[in-house]
Amino acid sequence: MKRMKVLAIAVTMALVLALLLPATVLAVVVPGDTVPTTATITGSGSPPIIKAQWELFDDYPDVPGTQVDIVPSDTKMMYAYIVVMDPNGRGDIAQVFCDVYHPDGSFKFQVHGVLLDPTVDADVTEMEEAKAAAVAAETGTWTTNVPEMLLNPLVEPVSSEPITQAVADWLDEEIFNTETAYMYKAEIPMEYHQPCGVYTVKSWATDKSGEQSFRLESWYEWVETKVLELDFTSIDYGEIVPCVEKIVPGDYVLETAGAAPPVKPSVKNEGNIALTIGVHSTAMVGDVTEKTIVDFDTKFRDEKILYLACVDTWFTNQLDLCSTEKIIFSVHAPDGTPADTYRGELTILVG
């Protein structure tokens, strides 16, 4: 009996103390202060998604699409910028690739994308400059493609359109604020003699478990450029005899430009399209007698053509990409041409 009485007293005192405590504000979390969490490990993961890509540099910003000029006798570096996300988090992105195709659809090469770190000032500056250049330059439909999948990242794109400031802002949000995507940069070296036309870039990525994204396409035009390099700056036929052909021979070595002879004339294709070449000569006029020489011929790739002064003359055979060929010139003074020094001009034509 004594033990039960003690317990009863303890309970009574607790109730009294509760009544004496000050009132408190009630805190409520809607719909509740506790929420369930779930996660699934499938063993394979979900593949990355290419959000957008574009190529720079654009040499014609006022023209729709991306057009790129060659650098004769040299290589020009193009850059593809690719924005990639992964449903499992951007840290799951393993590698990014760009497959480049020639205008005829044949495979050119594959290049790797390098991560631009959004926490490094230099990389942030490059990202912003690349996006700004793309926004400023692109008003057409050839490149700087932002797929329809931007509205639904689970749907493969069926169309594309140029990047806009709104899209650039959206990519900033993905990379810097929500931190769900990374930007990568791939270098695309273009040698001057690569065939002109529209090149296709197909970007794709893998994650750490080897899952592959779809290929997203964009395009740039390697602008058709005709460049013919000569190694001769003048033609001196020297002493000629009427009715006897006088030849200045060529060779296959592109020498330092100078007078021919001693230079033996050569021509080289420094552009990105096969060249049709021709010649045009004015009449050679005597300094004293003012008599003229109007008969000439020229030979290129085993094709020899006799032509008259002031008439454009074209070869049938073309000068192939990146090739050097000899070209031969000769003059014919008619019988009875008086002794004198004769002068004229010769022009190499490119068609």
Confidence of residue 44 (pLDDT cuts 50, 70, 90): low
* pTM reported for the whole predicted model: 0.74
Looking at the predicted structure, is the pLDDT value of residue 111 above 90?
yes
Q: End-to-end alpha-carbon separation of the chain, Å?
A: 123
215: tokens are 């290929």
Average pLDDT over the chain, rounded to whole? 84
Average pLDDT over residues 203-231: 92
Mean pLDDT in residue range 151-177: 67
Sign of CA dihedral 126, 130, 131, 136: positive
Q: What is the pLDDT of residue 31?
A: 67
pLDDT at 332 over 70: yes
CA–CA separation, 90 and 178 (whole Å) = 11
Integer Rg of the chain from CA:
37
CB atoms inside a 10 Å sphere around CB 59: 14
Q: State the average pLDDT over residues 171-193.
A: 95
Nearest to 112 by CA among 46, 205, 180, 212: 205
CATH topology of domain 49-222: Immunoglobulin-like (2.60.40)
Reported for 146-155, long-range contacts at CB under 8 A and 24+ positions apart, including other chains, are: 146/52, 147/50, 147/51, 147/52, 147/216, 149/49, 149/51, 150/51, 150/52, 153/49, 153/51, 153/85
Q: 55-69, 95-109, 183-197, 257-271: which range is least confident on average?
A: 55-69
29 vs 262: which has the higher pLDDT: 262
Whether a cis peptide bond, with omega within 30° of 0, leads into 31 is yes
pLDDT of residue 56: 87
pLDDT in tens, 296-324: 999 999 999 999 999 999 999 999 999 99
What pLDDT shows up at residue 264? 97
Q: Residue 157 — pLDDT band, cuts 50, 70, 90? A: very low
- pLDDT band at 38; cut points 50, 70, 90: confident
Residue, of 123 and 45, whose pLDDT is higher: 123
Q: Region 133-158: what's the mean pLDDT?
A: 50
Cβ(51)–Cβ(85) below 8 Å: yes
pLDDT, position 28 = 59
Domain limits, the chain: 49-222, 228-350
